[in-house]
Each structure stands twice: as C-alpha cells, then as structure tokens.
Amino acid sequence: MKKLILLFSIFIMGAWHPVQSQYKVDRPKLVVGIVVDQMRYDYLTRFYSKYGEGGFKRLLNEGFSCENSHYNYIPTYTAVGHASIYTGTTGSTHGIISNYWYDKFERKSIYCVDDFNYPAVGTTSTAEQKSPYRMLTTTVTDELRLSQNMKGKTIAVGLKDRSAVLPGGHSSNGSYWFHGMEEGNFVTSAYYMDALPKWVSQFNESGLKETYIGMKWETLYPIKEYTESIEDDNVYENPFEGEVKPVFPHDLPELKDFNGGYDLIKTTPFGNTLVMEFAKAAIEGEKLGARGYTDFLAISFSSPDYIGHRFGVDSKEVQDTYLRLDRDLADLLNFLDQKVGKGEYTVFLTADHAAVQVPAYLKSKKIPAGYFDEAAFGNFIREHCASKWGSAEIIEYISNFQIFLRPEKLNELKLSKEEVSNDLVELIINYEGVNKALTAMTLQRTEFSHGMLSRLQKGYNQKLSGDVLWIPDPAVTSYSHHGSTHGSGYSYDTHVPVIFYGKGFKRGATHEKVEIIDIAPTISSLLKISFPNGSSGRVIESALK
C-alpha cells in the first residue's frame, strides 16, 4: 500500500513539474509609456501618407493598434487623462477631477499637482513646488516598483509638470518638467530629490534650448504639400504675440521676448524634440533597461496641445507638428533598439485627450457648433437665485460646468440643497447651448451604464465635485473663437490612439471598443504585477501574445 502511495505521489509530482517549469516571468527590460497631448485618432490616418517608415508607421505596422479607443469620462483634460492612463481608473476614484478645480474645503481654486510642502529643485521659482499627493490611488509605475522591492526605476518627463508628476506615480525616482521663462531648464521638486542629478544638469547646460529658441519655425516639407490642412492664412487661428498673421514662417528669435522667453519653445514642434532628447539622456543617465530589473520611462509630448489650442486642429502648424513628431518617434525607437535592444522593450502610445475642430470653422461649413459664455451664464444663475430664493450668495462657485452651492447660506435661508439643485437643473436645461443637466444627488443615487451621463458619472467625485452639473451641446465650447480646445465627452474629445508595441504584444489591430483605463491593467498583465489599486479597466487580451 505504501509503495502505491509513493508511486502515486511521484506520478502527480511528475505530472505537475513540466507545467511549473514552463511558467516564468519574462518581462521587458524597459517599458516606455508615450502620451501625446491633444492627439486625435484621425491624425494617424489623415497624415499617414506623409509619415516616414520609422515612427507612427512602425508602431502601427509592427505593433497592435486599438482603433476604437475612447475616454470613458468627463472632463477630458490633461491631468485627468494622464492620471487615468496610469491608474486604470477615472476621477471618481483617483481624485484628479480636472487641471484646476474648486476645493470645497479650502474654498479656493486649486491646481492638481501643487504641493507647497516641497520646494522646487533646479530653479528658484516658487511656481514649481509639486507632488502627486492629490492622486489617491497607485499607478502602474508604482506597482512595478513595488513588485521588484523598489529595485526597478521609474523616470517621468514632460514639458508640463502635471504630465510628468502624475504618470511617475507616488514612487517615481525622478519626475522632470520644463521651466521656461528666462531659464529654459528641466526641473523637479524636493518630493523626489534634493538636487538635480548630474546628467540633468549637463542636459540643461548642453545648449539645446538656445538652438531651438534661435530657429525659425518653417514647414518640414514645402507648404504646398500640406494638403490635409486648411489654408495657412485664415481667421480661425491665434497668432503669436508680435505677429500680424498666424502664418509660416514663425521667427522665434523675434518672438521670444513677446511670448514668455523659453516658454515659446513649448508652442513649437521643437518642444517635442527637446523632450525626446531629454528622454534619451534619461535612459543613458539612469541606465534604464540595463540594470537587471524592469524600468519604466513615462514620456509626455505636450507641444501638440499648446499648438492645437493656438492654431486649431486643421492648421498647417498642427500638421507640421505631427510630421516632425513622427521623426522624433523614429529617432527614439532607433535609440531604444541600440541601447536596450530590439525585442527587449515595450512601448505604448496614446493621448490624454483629443480636440474639437474650431467651432467658428465648423459653423462656416454649416455644421452645428458654438460658444458657451460662462460669465453670462453665471450672471443668469445668480440673478435667478436672487429673484427666486432671495440671495445670489446661494451660489458659491461655478467652474468646469459645475455649480457649487454655499451650505451656510442654504441653512440661513432654511433651504434644502436638493430643492435648490433640482430647481437649477430645470432652469439650466433650457439655457441655450446646454445638452444635459442633473444634480449630484442624481449621480449618487442612479447608476448610468452607458452614454454621456455614464461618462459624467465616471468623472464625478462625491467628495470633490459640485452640486449641479451640466453638459454643453456637441461642438459648443467655452473658449476663444480662435484655436481648438477639449474637455467634453463627445467623440471628438474622447477618440484617441492606443498602440502597443514591442515585447509581449502581437502585430495587428482591433475595432472593438477599448477604454483608456484599459491600458494600465493590460500593461500590468504583461508585466505580471498587481493592478493599480483603484483600477477598473479590463485587460485587452487580443493585444497580448
């Protein structure tokens, strides 16, 4: 009997042994997350014939493209986008509900990454005191570090502070952003370190910023070949300060003093190139992908957002920006091939939001569009409250298409928040340019499974958001009549590229609906690590090998 038991045990152990030996964690040496600020999905297709073979085309043809990928919340702003990409959840959970929002506790407008507990490093400016403390959940970058007992490195770089701070997570080894004005340097804060590493200081002293600010911005190819964009001289763009018309060429040395000094670089394609060169310096300076652990490099290209806001999505400037970004991506991929090794790294590329075509331009083509006057709306609401409820002071603040009620005034007038909120919804829904309106209480009591109200709900944070919320009509924006903007839940703001490339991913594409919060769990699944602790996305199984 004992021999039978022994033989049975050997058989079971032998049966299981091959399965165990086949399972191993084979991670890439380096993960590179690329976020392009204000990139519409159709920039991939509209400019495809003008792209070279080594940038966007390489990613599309050798990687896996999710062609029906969307943001699933409102508002589609930069900070919320970067946080949602890396946490795998939305503002209702991670707490970054806008770039700026009204803080009901401090009773003032606050900025997403301001933290005055940590001095700036690399500049004397008090404007660069930053940290990710307002982001309430972990990121995929945090989880990768935790999974390796903090031995892997995370470095995050971008022109905007929020575009470096939030992707780096709470445990970033270094998040760096560009401080322009009279300095033109990459900086950080004491949250991360007490002094800049030598490689950062050397980069700041390399003279690249002088090179880029000293150039004329001319089109990469003859402007007559830019047939995918509207005429260069048009009424829908906003010229640089010091320019008479928003047309090529843009003489940067002549414009520098009128446009914030080195900050001018941000609103040119050279801002992308500067970030790309800094990312390459980070790979070398930190030895990313060469230390026996899986490292993470988060890169944010913000210049397309600055350029889109000024010139609009149909401009020659936007087209030139993407043709030049295509070259920068090719340069970066070739650098990764050399430094990390082909097949040894993983890349994903996406955007933090897309953008609407200039509403004035759409109207000129007989397409419904318009502008929402926030000041006039605020006066209308306050006048109504003064007339019906006896005081305009019921309204504490209006921002981000939300109304915050003043609780003390409601108590003083013996009014219920629910009664006043419902009254305002009935008023707002009939206001010109408004598509939907509802109370915060409705969002708390009802679960919307799809559609625009579902997106609004996913961006609503019970602790931080307002008491009444509304959604403007399609292509109706609260913005200048020149240039493009974003922030809505409509497809022109939500539809962005999502491309996976390199180790662990197939070649191919899918037309199935993918949400931006699916990126973090998909990368986590590839790395075989815990998902970010607030993650609500799903793994895109069709992309993984």
SS3 121: strand
Is residue 446 annotated as part of the catalytic site, yes or no? no
Across 460-538, where does the E strand assignment appear?
468-472, 476-477, 498-502, 508-510, 514-515
- Which tokens belong to 475? 């292509």
Of 523, 530, 414, 497, the closest CA to residue 31 belongs to 523
Instruction: Report the 10 Å Cβ neighbour count for 506.
Output: 13
Kindly name the residue from 78, 87, 93, 219 that is annotated as catalytic: 78
What residues does 258 pair with on adjacent strands? none
DSSP annotation of 187 reads: E
For residues 15, 19, 21, 24, the Cα torsion angle rounded to the nearest 10 degrees is -160
Cβ-based neighbours of 105, under 8 Å, separated by 6 or more: none
Question: How far is Cα 388 from Cα 386, in angstroms, rounded to an integer?
Answer: 6
Residues across the chain:
545
Eight-class DSSP state of 257: G
The Cα–Cα gap between 173 and 144 comes to: 12
Tokens of 217: 């911005």
Sheet holding 30-36, edge to edge: 120-121, 185-189, 174-179, 154-158, 295-301, 30-36, 345-351, 498-502, 64-66, 508-510
Phi-psi region of 242 (alpha: psi -120 to 50; beta: other; left: phi over 0): left
Q: How far apart, in Å, are the Cα atoms of 464 and each of 72, 270, 333, 403, 440?
A: 19, 37, 40, 12, 11
Strands 30-36, 345-351: pairing kind: parallel
- CA separation, residue 328 to residues 56, 145, 269, 276 (Å): 10, 28, 10, 7
Q: Whole-angstrom Cα distance, residue 157 to residue 178?
A: 9
Neighbours of 343 (CB within 10 A): 12
Instruction: Give yes or no for a contact between 37 and 163, defined as CB atoms under 8 angstroms apart.
Output: yes
Residue written as token pair 């002549």: 254
Q: Is 525 exposed, middle or buried (0-12, 13-18, 19+ CB in 10 A)?
A: middle
Placement of tokens 């941000």 in the chain: 266
Catalytic residue positions, numbered: 78
